[in-house]
Amino acid sequence: LSGGIENTSSWKDSFYNPRTGEVLGRTASSWALILLFYLVFYCFLAGMFALTMWVLLLTLDDYVPRYRDRVPNPGLVIRPNSLDITFNKSDALKYSQYVQHLESFLQSKKYNDSQQERNEECTEGEYFLQDDSGDMRKKACRFKRASLSVCSGLSDTNFGYHEGKPCVLLKMNRVKPIIGLKPIGNPYINCTVKKENPIPMQYFPSEGKIDKMYFPYYGKKAHENYMQPLVAVKLLLSKEDYNKELPVECRVEGSDLRNNDERDKFLGRVTFRVKVVE
Ligand SMILES: *[C@@H]1O[C@H](CO)[C@@H](O)[C@H](O)[C@H]1NC(C)=O
Ligand SMILES: *[C@@H]1O[C@H](CO)[C@@H](O)[C@H](O)[C@H]1NC(C)=O
Ligand SMILES: *[C@@H]1O[C@H](CO)[C@@H](O)[C@H](O)[C@H]1NC(C)=O
C-alpha cells in the first residue's frame, strides 16, 4: 500500500514538485527562457518570410511580365489547327471538323463581334501607341470578322470547303509575350505552293495585310482585350489540283519580322499540306 502512495507522489512530483517548484522537471524561469527562445525564433522566421515575399512582390510588376520571350519574333499558326488538311469536298462529314473549328475559333469571345464593339476603331497603317501615364489599361483595336470576307464564315458558312476552295486562317503566335513589338515596314502574308503552275490565292484583308495598328502589344494584364489580327487565305484549287498533296508555305513578308530561321520552321512562317478529293 505504502509503495502505491509513493508511486503516486513521485508521478505527481514529476509533473509539479512543490519542494523545488519545478514543473515537468524545469523551474518556472527555465520554462520562461525556453518559451522566450521559441517566441523570438519563430518571430525571426516569420519576419524572414515576410521580408522575402515583400522583396519578391516589389520586383514583380503586374503590368509588365517579368519573363519575356527569348525570341523577339512571332511565329505563324493556322486555323483549322492541323498541318494536314485533307478532305472530300463532296462529303460534308469529312470537312465539317475543319468548318466547325473555324467557326468556333471565330465565335470565341475575342473575335466575336459583340466583343469587338467595345474595342477602338483605330487608324489603319499606324501603330496604336498609348502613353504610359494615368490608366495602365490599354485599349485594343477592333478586328472585324467581316474583313475576312468570304473566309469569315458569315456569307459562306462552309468557308469554301464544299467547293474545294478552302480557307485557312493565319495568325501570329508568340506575339503575346512580345511586349512592345513594332514591326518595321508593312507586314503581309504571302503563301505559295511548290509546284509548276502556281495556285491562285485570295487574301483577306486584301493583300494579306497585317495592319500596324495591332502593334504594339502592351502585355496580358494591361492589354486585356488585345487580339491578334487574322489573315485568311483562300486556295483557289481547280480540278487538276485534286487528289494531290499540296505543300503550302506561308510567310510574313514586307517587314523586319524574321521568316527564314534555319532552326525554327515556325518563326514567321508555317508549312502545311492540303489535299482535296472529290
Ligand atoms: C467523296 O464523297 C462522295 C460522296 O460521299 C463519294 O461519292 C466519293 O466516292 C468520295 N470520294 C473519295 C475519293 O472518297
Ligand atoms: C458573342 O458572344 C456572346 C456570348 O459569348 C453571344 O451571346 C453572342 O451571340 C456572340 N455574338 C456573335 C455575333 O457571335
Ligand atoms: C510571294 O512569294 C513568292 C515565292 O517566294 C514570290 O515569288 C512572290 O513574288 C511573293 N509575292 C509577294 C506579293 O510578295
Q: 248 pLDDT exceeds 50? A: yes
Chain segment 130-145, per-residue pLDDT in tens: 887 666 788 889 998 9
95: CA distance to ligand 1 center in Å? 12
Residue 157 sits in which domain range? 75-277
Nearest CA to ligand 3 atom 9: 190
Nearest CA to ligand 3 atom 5: 192
Ligand 3: which of 190, 206, 271 to mutate, judged by most atoms within 8 Å of the beta carbon?
A: 190
Same domain, 50 and 127: no
Q: Where residue 241 sits, what CATH number does that domain have? A: 2.60.40.1660
Q: Which of 63-77, 105-119, 157-171, 184-198 has the lowest mean pLDDT?
A: 63-77
Ligand 1: residues with CB < 6 A are 88, 90-91, 277-278
- The predicted model gives 204-220 an average pLDDT of 90
Helical H segments across the chain, by residue range: 2-15, 28-59, 92-107, 113-116
CA dist 41 to 30, 36, 44, 47, 55, Å? Answer: 17, 8, 5, 10, 21
What pLDDT, on a 0 to 100 scale, did the predictor assign at position 71? 47
Q: 69 pLDDT exceeds 90? A: no
Same domain, 26 and 97: no
- The predicted model gives 41-66 an average pLDDT of 83
> What DSSP string runs through 64-94?
B-SS--SS-S-EEEEESS-SEEEEETT-HHH
Q: 146 pLDDT exceeds 80? A: yes
- The predicted model gives 147-167 an average pLDDT of 95
What pLDDT, on a 0 to 100 scale, did the predictor assign at position 115? 82
Same domain, 144 and 45: no
Residue of higher predicted confidence among 59 and 275: 275
What pLDDT, on a 0 to 100 scale, did the predictor assign at position 91? 94
Same domain, 28 and 111: no
Residue 276 and residue 89 in contact, taking contact as beta carbons nearer than 8 Å:
yes
Ligand nearest to the CA of 116: 2
Same domain, 52 and 116: no
- Does the residue 70 lie in any domain? no
Atom index in ligand 3 nearest the CA of residue 207 equals 13
For residue 66, name the pLDDT band (cuts at 50, 70, 90). low
164: CA distance to ligand 1 center in Å? 13
Same domain, 90 and 228: yes
Distance CA 278, CA 89 (A): 6
Ligand 3: residues with CB < 6 A are 190, 192, 253
Atom index in ligand 3 nearest the CA of residue 190 equals 1
Same domain, 157 and 27: no
Q: Supply the mean pLDDT for the chain.
A: 86
114 within ligand 2 shell (Cβ under 6 A) = yes
Residue of higher predicted confidence among 19 and 226: 226
Ligand nearest to the CA of 152: 2
Residue of higher predicted confidence among 124 and 71: 124
Q: How many structural domains is the chain composed of?
A: 2
